[in-house]
Each structure stands twice: as structure tokens, then as C-alpha cells.
Chains A and B, each alone.
Chain A
Amino acid sequence: MCLAVPVEITSLLPGAMAIGEHSHVRLEFSVALLENPRVGDFALVHAGVAIETIDEESALETLAMLKEVLDGPGR
């Protein structure tokens, strides 16, 4: 139910479609469900449709949290 990959939007097409890239694979998908899709955004694509944009700030927070775990008292 959940196989979705983060795809970097490389161009926007008419009809609420976009082209993006994930690990050297180019795919075409719908961005009709995204509020304000932009080139450079990372979209979560499932079965040919972008269901959400990956929030960069949250991603960085997650990274920082993980780093803390590694450095922290859990050692």
C-alpha cells in the first residue's frame, strides 16, 4: 500500500504533470495533488501520482535527531 519513492522534480508539464528523477531513473507523474509543485522539490510518488512533497526542514530535523542518537548517551 505504500511503495512510494522521493523523486526530484526536474520539469513541470501542462495538465498537472511533471517529470522527475530518482537515482538516474526518469519518470513522469501527476502533481495534481500538490499545492505548489516546483522544480527542485522532492515529491513522494506512488503508482504514478505525487501524494506529498517531502518537507526539507523536517528531513533535516530527522537527520539531526539521528545524529544526536549516535553521539548521545545511548552509546
Chain B
Amino acid sequence: MLDNGKCQVALDGVVRMGHGSGGRLSRELLEGLILPALGAAAPDHLDDGAVFVPPPGELVFTTDSHVVSPLEFPGGDLGTLCVAGTVNDLAMMGARPLALSLGLILEEGLPLDTLRRLVSSVGRTASLAGVRILCGDTKVVERGKGDGVFANTAGIGVRFHATSPDAIRPGDAILINGNVGDHGFTLLTQRKGFPLRSPLRSDAAPLNGLVEKLCARVPVRWMRDPTRGGVATALCELCEDRSWSATLVEADLPLHPAVRGVSEILGLDPLHSANEGKFLAVVPAASVDDALETLRCEPLGRDAACIGRITEGHAGKLLIRTALDSVRVMGMLASDPLPRIC
């Protein structure tokens, strides 16, 4: 039972249609569960909208919707993704997060205890990122019409760094702050019925702090968080319509041994697997050492590595130098990765 002094919400119950009706039950859910669970990240006032004065500078506005199954997994949950996803989108635009909104569509029958855990993750992750949820909304759909929880977060940030992808030149380095493919493979092995077990955990985390430190130290020409579609898709998109190419080095990719293992057992490529706590950065060749030093000082950048270079020739393509030193073209993810027997 949570008691914020105003009302109590019994946590052994489930979400009911009334919780989304806008009436007394909605208010109970908000004041008895959602706000207390958000903790320090909760808004001070509840009104039709949140008013705040932005600091000087360019504003960046982004939105992200979140659908994940299972709702909870090793290393995080839907709540973690809600905040990390949007904060990281802002960070990739060189923006510090100012405020987030949280829209929830709940399925009738969702245990309130689950909801409390998810919203607590939202609060915890937001506090880690130094941002608050200033507004939100909750609706409920009938049982069978939702997958537990669908969520949307919109975020506003203020720019501290402008990326300059047009300034990218052959010789520039491609960096990543840690292991490739952890999130996607973690979710895959959590799928019901798969006879695989591993110590893999999602890497979901807000990267704004790390990104700010990096941008303060070296000139960062481009950044992208390789979520769905993985590192390969993000880099293919970078290279599209450019006069240069990018070449990854297979031997330099930081991989958790279990990611390697899952990749070999199911026949899936870590470079196509989602990451939720990683970002790619392109920096001038001369800045690589400083950049890696800065990243490796931080917990979220301990395994940072240079994984490739911008290269001359084969304009517009992503290439990979294999363990055998041969070079081939790397494609983007066409559709949902499926385990293979062949």
C-alpha cells in the first residue's frame, strides 16, 4: 500500500476501465500510484499543461513510443526504455533534457504491482538523467486490446552541441561506448519457450551525461543511438548518399561472449541487434585517444572502442573488414531478425 496522505491504492488489484475514465479512480491511480512511484521525477503541480521557462539556446523536441514484450527483462523494463529512449534521442541531437511527458495506455487486467514497478523505473531512470516528467496522461483499453502497457514519451531539450555530419571526412573514427547488441539479444532469449539461458542483460540507460562529457572534450561530428536495426542499420543510414563509405573492423567490435554465443546458435548478427544504452560517435582521427579516455572513465563507457573508420571509395556503403582481412558490404536490417537453422 502506498500512502501519500491523500489517498491509498491497494496494490493487489489490477487496472480497471475506470482507471482511465478521468474520474475518481483515475485520480486515485495518479495520486496513489503513479506520482509516488515517480518519486523525485514527479511534477510539482498537476494542471492541463506544464509551464516552464526554457534556458537560452536552441530547443530540441522529440518523441518515442514504447512497446516491449516481455514488459520486464534482465537489466530493465518498459519504464527504463521510456526514459532512456527519449533522453538518448535528445542526447544524439546534442541536447540536454529539460522535461519529459509520459503517456500510458494500459490494458485492463494489468496488475497494479507491475505498473508500480514500471513507473518506479521511469522515475529512477529520469532522476539518473537529471530530468523530470512534467506532464502525462493515462488511458485504459479493454482486456485483449493492448499488450499490457503501451507508452509514449515526448521530450524537450536544449542544445549544447551541434553535430556536423557534413564535416565528416575519410579517416574519421567511428566509436561506440560499449558492447554491441546486448539489448536485442537479451529480449530474444527471454522469449517464452526458447531453450537458451544466458547472463545477458539489457544495456538500457540514459546517455546524456556521457554524451555531454564527450562533446566537451572532442569535436563530435555525428552521433546516433543504434536502437532497432542495430549498429549496421544506423551506419548504413549515415553513409547513404554520401561521397565516402564507413568500414567496420570485425575484430574490433566489443562483444559480450554470450552475445557471440547467441549469435552463433541462432544465426543472428549482433550488428543488427538493438542497443538501448549505446551510441555511435564519429570524431576526427586526431581525437580518438582523448575520446576513448573520456568515455572509459565513466561507468557507461567502460568498454568503449573504436570500431571502424570513414573510408574513401565505395561511396554510400557500409563495409566490414572480416577476421580474414577481406572486406565485404554490410546491409541494413530488412525486417525482424528470425532465428535460423541454415
Contact = CB atoms under 8 A, between A and B. Distances in A.
Interface of A: 1-3, 5, 22-29, 45-48
Interface in B182-209: 189, 195-199
A60 to B, nearest CB: 22
A24 B199 contact: yes
Given A3-B342, A27-B265, 12 more contacts: A3-B267, A5-B264, A5-B265, A24-B257, A24-B258, A25-B198, A25-B262, A26-B196, A26-B197, A27-B196, A29-B195, A45-B265
Interface string B263-279: 01101000000000000
Contacts of B257: 23-24
B261 A25 contact: yes
A9 to B, nearest CB: 15
Contacts of B198: 24-26
Contact of A23 (B260, B267, B340, B341): B260
Given A25-B198, A27-B195, A27-B197, A46 B261 contact: no
Chain B interface residue number, banded: 10 to 19
B99 to A, nearest CB: 40
Contacts of A25: 189, 196-198, 258, 261-262, 265
- Which secondary structure characterizes the binding site on chain A? strand
A22 B342 contact: no
Contacts of A26: 196-198
Interface string B302-342: 00000000000000000000000000000000000000111
Contact of B340 (A3, A5, A22, A27): A3
Given A3-B341, A47-B341, A48-B195, A22 B261 contact: yes
Nearest to A22: B261
A22 B197 contact: no
Nearest to B265: A5
B341 A24 contact: no
A46 B267 CA distance: 11
Contacts of A2: 342
A65 B126 CA distance: 57
Interface in B57-81: none
18 contacts: A1-B341, A1-B342, A2-B342, A3-B340, A3-B341, A5-B261, A22-B264, A23-B258, A24-B198, A24-B199, A24-B256, A25-B261, A25-B265, A26-B196, A26-B197, A27-B195, A46-B341, A47-B341
Interface in B12-54: none
A25 B265 CA distance: 9
A25 B260 CA distance: 9
Nearest to A47: B341
A24 B256 CA distance: 9
Contacts of A29: 195
Nearest to B194: A27
B195 to A, nearest CB: 5
Contacts of A1: 341-342
Nearest to B197: A26
Contacts of B196: 25-27
Given A3-B267, A29-B195, A48-B195, A23 B342 contact: no
